[in-house]
Each structure stands twice: as C-alpha cells, then as structure tokens.
Chains A and B, each alone.
Chain A
Amino acid sequence: MDIVSQLQRQFIDYSASLHHEGFVDDQFTQLQKLQDENSPDFVVEVASLFFEDCEKLINNMARALEQQQGVDFKQVDASVHQLKGSSSSIGAVRVKNVCISFRSFCEAQNREGCLRCLQQVTHEYSLLKNKLQTLFRLEQQLLAAGGSIK
C-alpha cells in the first residue's frame, strides 16, 4: 500500500539520517537487528532504560559538581563511566564522545571543564532523546499501518 511504503521510506530515511548525523552508530543497528517476534519492543525498552539511566546519572553529576566545598571527582567519574558504558551499549556515539572528554576533565579535577561537559552531555542527550522518540513514533505509525521495519 502506498501509505505503508511511504511510511517505510520515511522511517528508513530518518534512520539513515540519524546514522549520518552521527547520533547513533552500528551498535544501534545491531540492536535493531535483535528485535524480532520474541522481543518486538526490544529497542524501545533499551532506549527507555537508557533515558532513565541518563537522567539519573546527569542529576547525580550535577549535584556532585554543585558542591561548593570539595567536589567529589571520584563520584562524578564513576557516573561518567556508567554513562559512557550505557551510551556505547546503545550506540549513542555523540554522548559517548562527550563522556570521554568528560572523564579526562574528571581526572584533571577541573571543575569548570566538568561543568561544561555536563552541559554538553545534557544537550546531546536531549537531542538524542528527541530524535529517538521521533523514530519510535514513526515506527509505531508504520506498524499501525500494517508495515514492518525489516
């Protein structure tokens, strides 16, 4: 049906653009491959888990960095490490890259740098969240219209 193919085209294009713009990488594609009849919502589940994790970690880091007396860089570093792990598992390339520079600031105990990175991370994360939510919406529409994403 026309609508289905249109929606499919839209979905594929959008997916490709995410890759092109560097929001996600191969790992995300892998995750998409894992989605099948046994786990139809695999990607969505992973993504939601990722978003929850992200928010929690970002809040932790913000609180830790706000301390006027003595920032606990170890704690911040631990959170960044977690974030890096999560983002690389899901294939969120940009977030992961920010995490890498974030870690070096943590090691250098540079509060200004850390705050800047935190801002960047938050920014990237919100962008990604938007993009993925759009993607999932498209997917829902496509499935509702009777198409399939494979």
Chain B
Amino acid sequence: MESCNCIEPQWPADELLMKYQYISDFFIALAYFSIPLELIYFVKKSAVFPYRWVLVQFGAFIVLCGATHLINLWTFTMHSRTVAVVMTTAKVLTAVVSCATALMLVHIIPDLLSVKTRELFLKNKAAELDREMGLIRTQEETGRHVRMLTHEIRSTLDRHTILKTTLVELGRTLGLEECALWMPTRTGLELQLSYTLRQQNPVGYTVPIHLPVINQVFSSSRAVKISPNCPVARLRPLSGKYVPGEVVAVRVPLLHLSNFQINDWPELSTKRYALMVLMLPSDSARQWHGHQLELVEVVADQVAVALSHAAILEESMRARDLLMDQNVALDLARREAETAIRARNDFLAVMNHEMRTPMHAIIALSSLLQETELTPEQRLMVETILKSSNLLATLINDVLDVSRLEDGSLQLDLGIFNLCAVFREVLNLIKPIASVKKLHVSLNLAPDLPEYAIGDEKRLMQTILNVVGNAVKFTKEGSISITAFVAKSESLRDSRAPEFFPVPSDNHFYLRVQVKDSGSGISTQDIPKLFTKFAQTQSTATRNSGGSGLGLAICKRFVNLMEGHIWIESEGLGKGCTAIFTVKLGIPERLNESKLPLMPKVSSNHGQTSFSGLKVLVMDENGVSRMVTKGLLVHLGFEVTMVSSSDECLHVVSHEHKVVLMDVCVPGMDGYEIAVQIHEKFTKSHERPLIVALTGNTDKVTKENCMRVGMDGVILKPVSLDKMRSVLSDLLEHRFFRGHIEMKNIGD
C-alpha cells in the first residue's frame, strides 16, 4: 500500500533503495537520451546505412523510454497530479512506439542478416580470386623467366657461353643448388660431365649412356623427376643433413654434327642427346611444380636450337677462313703466274729482235762471203756456218712462233692464193734435198681441187713444208708421195679423230693432204708424243737429224687454227708412215674470172688501173688533210666529193659513191658511228660503198674498232700515192670477195 504522496517521508534506511532507484533511473534516462544522439551522429557520418527511418523510429522509442524514466524521478517523492498525467502520457507513447518498433524489426532483421551472408560470400570470392591471381602471376613470372633465359641463351653464338649462361640463369630463376650438363662423348657410349653451375672445373666424370634412368629421360621430351641417388645426380657430397633436394632431368637434342666419326656403332640412333640435371636445394622441402618443369623443358629446347646455330656458325666460320686462305694462295699463285708470263713476254719481245738481228747479219754476210773467191776448205767452212745459222734461225723462229701460238695472239692472215702454186713451191723446195738422198717425190693433185682458195698461204705452206720435210728427213730410201684432194663428208670422219666433225658449206671446203713415205716409220706408242713440244723419239735414226721437235707441234697449232685436224699413221718401225691433215679453206666467189689477179700478193703494181669517173666521198674535218687526200684521189682519176662533218657525210652518201674515205682519229667525231649508219643505210651489200678509214693510229684498238663497225680497209696516214693506188685497186677488185676477206690490213 502506498503511502500518501503528499506526505514527504523521512529518508529512512529502506529509502536507500529508493535513492538507488532514483540514481539508476537518472542514469538510464541519460543513457537513453545519449544513445540516439550517438546513433544520429554516427549515421550522419556514415553514408551507407540504408534504414534511416528505422533509426528515427528507434530513436523515438529510446527517447520516450528515457523520458519515461526521467519523469519517474519525480514520482519518488510527492508529486502532483500533472506529473502523473505527464508520466502516463509518456508511458502510453513509449508503449505505442516500442510496439511499432518491435513489429518493424521483424521485417528488418532478416534483411540485415542476409546482408551479412552476402558479405561472407563476397569475402570468400575475394579469397578465391586472390589465389587465382597468385597463380597467374606465378605463370607470368615463369613466362618472363623463360623469355629472359631464351634471350640470354640466344644472345650469343658461342657454344660455351650459351651453355654456361643457361645453367647460371636457370640456377638463378629456380633457385637451384646445382645444375649440370652431361654431353655425350665422341664414341657415344658415355656421358661426360661438361658444365656445372657451382663447381668451377668439373673433373671428367663419365657415366655410361645406357643406364635405365638415362634411357627413361631420353625417351621422353618432358622433364622427368629422378632419384637424387642416381649417378648423374650425385655430383657433390651431401651438404645437407637430412634430405637431398628433388632432382629433375631433361634431354637436350643435339645437332648431328658431321665431324663426329662414329662409323662402327650400328645401334646408335641418329638423334643424340645431352642430359641436363637440376637439383633443388637440399633441406628446403621445396618441390618441383608443374610450371617449373615446363620452364625447364622450354629452356632445354631453346638451348638445343641455340647450340645448333652455334655449331652451324662455327662450321661456316671455319669454311670461310679456309676459303680466305685459299683465296690468298690463289691470288699469290695468279700473281706469280702473271709475273712469269710478263717476264716471258718481255724476254720474247727482246729476244725476238735481239736474236734475229745478229742472225740475219750472220746469214746475210755468210751468203755474201760464199759468193766471193774461196779456197775449198774455206768454202766448206762457210757452208757449214751458213747451214748452222740457217738452222739456228729456223729454231729461233719456231720457238717464237710457238710462244705466239700459245698466247693465242697468232691470227691467220687470210687472203686469196693459188693452191696449186703452193704445192708446186713446196715440191721445188724439197726436190734438191730429195734428189741428194735419191728419193722419188710425186705430187698428186685431185682434179676437183679449186685453183684458188682463201686462207693463210704462208702458214699453209709452212705446214705442208714441215710435213713433207719430215717425210724426207726420216726416209733413207724409197719414195715420198704427196696427195691433195677435197675431202667429202664420209671421208672426213676418221676413226682416229672421232671428235672432229667437219661441216662443209657453200663457202668452204676441206683440203685433205696425205704425205706417204717409205721411211723408218714410227712405233705405235710414240705416235701420241709426236705432236708434243720438244718431245722426240729416241731412235738413233732421228738423233742425227737435228731439229727442235717443235715442227709438228707448230703444224698442229696451225692446222687447228685453220679448223682442221692432223695425225700420223704408221704400221710400225721400218714400215714407213703417212701424215694426213685436213684444213678448212674458203672458196672465192667468182663473178668475173677475168678480174682475178694471178699473183695478188706478189706486187702491188697493177699498172694504171682505171679509176676514171669512179665517185668517192672524202670525209675529214681537217682542211689540209682533206685537200691532200682530194689531191691524191683526183690525181688517180677519181671524182671526189668532200664533206667535213658526219652529218654532211650521211646526207651526201649515195650508192653512186664507190668508196667513202673517212678520218677516224678526230676526237669528238665518231667515224665508227658513221660506218655503222652507212651499213644500215645500204642494206644490199653491192650497193654499199666501200668504207676505208684513214688514221694516224696503228694500235690494235683502232683496228679492232674498224673491224667491229664493218670497215673494209684501214690506211695509215700520211698516205703516199702508191699506197692509195694499191689499196683502192685491191679493194675495188676484190669487192666481190668481201664476204671472205674481212679486213685487209694495209699500210701497216
């Protein structure tokens, strides 16, 4: 029962309780007021709190509770009815709000819980992503390592550097304790420790190649984990106390180098491998991971490629050095050869003149001496002198001829000559000697042999003379017969000359000459040596005959120049021999027989060939030369037109002009060009005027240029009347034979 509220009781001992209640209520009220304030403060600070109105509700609830407890303070003592009313109101409001809050929380709390769940889920996800990220990073690092390793390995082409770099980089990347490379030995039966990471100079440990563990590694292209106790992995004394680190081995394919000489091991496969062994540090509890094994495999492949490149480079460098040495040696040899040739040419050039001059003097004076009054002994002596010097002169000429022939500088002097006359001349020369030896010489010329031919008369005569001379020389008794005829195609092919395929044509024919003698003959084994220089058969019969042994060699050269073939047949010693040769000669076109000169080379005096009325064109820039040339030609009876420039020349030239004489040594004006243009202007060869060059140069280049542009003749300035006359008459008469005489070098 409650005492009357109007009475203010004393503070007895049981009022202590009331006092405590009073204080608690006060503090509760305080707390209840401050909590919402705090909440509001922090919510205002945070941005994400989603349920603000809940907070308001909650705040209201607390405030009202606080208010209630505050008002309660007044009810401990006597209080008025107003206080009671306020208290009641507060309590009612508090009740309403708290019920509302309670009801609302039922909706809110599950939501809040699910937020929590999501948060947990996200955290898990984050952790998973972290893990994956770690993995990717590791892989990327591995990739970077591979690239870096590859770069290091491939940045050099030196074998040792490559291998050392590989080991060093691998050791660094993977944190290896030891890394080693075993290379196969030369025999291929063992693996030898070639490179290691930590040990500086690996002593030559070898391991037989056919261990099962090694086979296992070699048979797979992947990195294989092997036992640390196997011989290839036991490289160092165990430094750790407990457990050696894991070991992995991988094969490295090697290029099949050609200098491995393994020819007695049939089972050896063509692929050769080296072995790379990698050891993790002992006592580290580390393990080989998949990505590290992949790294090792990739590196092994790269090393293989780099090694093959290095090997190829070594080979090519060696080859290049070899070539350079050879080049140097060849260069030296060439220079020596050139010096030798030059020395020889110089010698020949000097000797040519120096030797011939005294020889001529000797011969000339001896022959003169012969004409004077001599006693018989003196006559004999002079004859011997003459004979010896003639022989010497011939020898000198032969040697010089041969050298010129070898140089290739000898060219045939083509011209028209009387074929039959050549043979008759040879006969005349040989008859005296033959009659002394009482040999009978007969000449047989086939009736179809042309009377005139185009070729090198002098050298043909030399050849025939040499062959016939040999026949006479080596025949002690009996007869010599010379036959000459035109070779037909069936008879041209000789079994002894199978590589000789003559092709007769309209402009050429093949002259075949056979000289048969009944002399000492030649044994079959000596026949091939006959045409070699300086080689003589050793039989005593020939020893006394003298001669240099060059004759036949020279003949062979001449015959070859004339596109022919020469050979000797003999049935043996004592049975005589036959010398046969064929040469190609040109056939002169004969349009007008009466114009053919009988002996065109003998004299240039044709008498006054009539040039009257023939038109010629003279082109010369120099006024004086022009006038002089004109004077010459006018004197000879030509009708002369003069031009002073190439354009004028081309403008004026016509088919009426028989000859065009042009000065070609004027610089700046190309006489050669004009010749070419004249050729182009007159396509029919009989309409074209003859082109003759006037030049002061006698060198080969000028002549070659003239020949090249198709000039018909060259005259050396200054020209004499006789020279001009002979040249022009020759040219005009031989006009029909222009196709065969390419160039008449006149006035040399």
Contact = CB atoms under 8 A, between A and B. Distances in A.
Interface string B691-732: 000001000000000000000000001111100000000000
A26 to B, nearest CB: 7
A50 B626 CA distance: 11
B317 interface: no
B282 to A, nearest CB: 88
Interface string A49-67: 1100100000000000000
B634 A46 contact: no
Contact of B623 (A30, A38, A49): A49
Interface residues of A, number: 27
A30 B721 contact: yes
A46 B632 CA distance: 12
Contacts of B665: 85
A88 B623 contact: no
A90 B628 CA distance: 7
A4 B665 CA distance: 44
A43 B665 CA distance: 24
A35 to B, nearest CB: 8
Interface residues of B, number: 23
B726 to A, nearest CB: 14
A39 B634 CA distance: 9
Given A30-B721, A91-B718, A46 B628 contact: yes
B110 interface: no
A43 to B, nearest CB: 9
B627 interface: yes
Nearest to B626: A89
B628 A89 contact: yes
Interface string B626-668: 0111011011000000000000000000000000000101111
A49 B624 contact: yes
A108 interface: no
Given A26-B720, A34-B632, A85-B696, A90 B624 contact: yes
Contacts of B629: 89
B525 interface: no
Contact of A86 (B623, B631, B634, B668): B623
Contact of B634 (A33, A38, A81, A82): A38
A149 interface: no
B667 A86 contact: no
B628 A78 contact: no
Contacts of A90: 624, 628
B388 interface: no
Nearest to A74: B667
A86 B640 CA distance: 19
A36 interface: yes
B193 to A, nearest CB: 76
A74 to B, nearest CB: 9
B623 A81 contact: no
Contacts of A89: 622, 624-625, 627-629, 717-718
B625 A85 contact: yes
B668 A78 contact: yes
Given A81-B667, A88-B717, A53 B632 contact: no
A45 interface: yes
A26 B721 CA distance: 11
A46 to B, nearest CB: 5
Contacts of A31: 628, 631
A39 B627 CA distance: 12
Contacts of B668: 78
| Closest A-B pairs by Cβ, 6 of them | A86-B624, A89-B625, A27-B718, A85-B622, A89-B628, A34-B631
6 contacts: A30-B632, A30-B720, A30-B721, A49-B623, A53-B622, A86-B623
Given A27-B720, A53-B622, A88-B717, 6 more contacts: A34-B634, A38-B634, A38-B635, A46-B624, A49-B627, A86-B622
